[in-house]
Structure 1
Amino acid sequence: MIETKIRKVGNSAVMTLTSEMLALLDAKEGDSLFVVRGDDGGLRIMVQDPSLKSVLDAAEQVMDENREALQKLA
């Protein structure tokens, strides 16, 4: 486990990613990241995957188009 702190920068709260974290993510400065909330309530950080982004965008569009039906099913 790697510990990091949250600090204030302007109006935002930021978390610093150490070089060790970047290496584990196979990421570098300037890369985009996804943060996804898991079923257990934890957060998962992933390097952006263009194919995943297109799938997520398509899923969001379907959910927007079918919001009423999905709410009835929930």
Structure 2
Amino acid sequence: MHVSGRVRVAVRLRPRNSEELSTDVDFGDCVELQPELKRLKLRRNNWDSSTFEFDEVHTEFASHKQVYEAVAKPIV
């Protein structure tokens, strides 16, 4: 739902870069996206985590067009 004058916040987990791909870094160890709930959870260890809610949550598989359509197009 769009409310005029309200700041909307979106997050997109970026795709892994070549260095991260070559070292097989796994974002899943510390970042858990929950797009259907519009949440992101950052895990510091097995017992400690922080959860953040957003207006839009996009995975690393979202295209630039998908992000634009959801985030920028409504305000342009």
With normalisation by structure 1, the TM-score equals 0.24
| Structure whose alpha-carbon radius of gyration is higher | 1
Structure showing greater relative contact order (alpha-carbon pairs closer than 8 Å, 6 or more residues apart) = 2
Scaled by the length of structure 2, the TM-score of the pair is 0.23
Query: More helix per residue: 1 or 2?
Result: 1
